[in-house]
Amino acid sequence: MLKLLLMLMLTLASATHALQSPAHAPEFSGTSLVGTAIRYQPGAPTLLVFWASWCPTCMKELPDMITLTNSNPWLTVVGVNLDRTAANGLAVVEQRGIPYASVKDGELTIADQYQVRGTPTLVVINASGNIIQITHHLNDELRAALAAIQPAAQPAIPTPANAQQTVQPTSK
Domains of the chain, by residue range, sit at: 54-124+137-151
Average pLDDT, the chain: 83
Contact predicate 157/150, CB 8 Å: yes
pLDDT > 90: percent of the chain: 74
pLDDT at 160 over 50: yes
SS3 of 24, please?
strand
What pLDDT sits at residue 169?
Answer: 34
Global confidence as pTM: 0.78
pLDDT at 158 over 90: no
Count CB-CB contacts under 10 A for residue 44.
Answer: 15
- Give the mean model confidence (pLDDT) for residues 45-65: 97
pLDDT > 70: percent of the chain: 76
CA-CA-CA-CA torsion sign (112, 117, 119, 120): negative
β-sheet with 46-51: strand ranges across = 102-104, 76-81, 46-51, 121-125, 131-135
- CA–CA distances in Å: residue 93 to residues 62, 118, 151, 171: 10, 20, 28, 10
Task: Give 81's strand partners.
Answer: 51, 104
CATH class of 54-124+137-151: alpha beta
What pLDDT sits at residue 101?
Answer: 96
The predicted-structure confidence for 106-141, as pLDDT tens digits, reads as follows 999 999 999 999 999 999 999 999 999 999 999 999
- Give the mean model confidence (pLDDT) for residues 82-99: 97
Residue 71 is given by DSSP the state: T
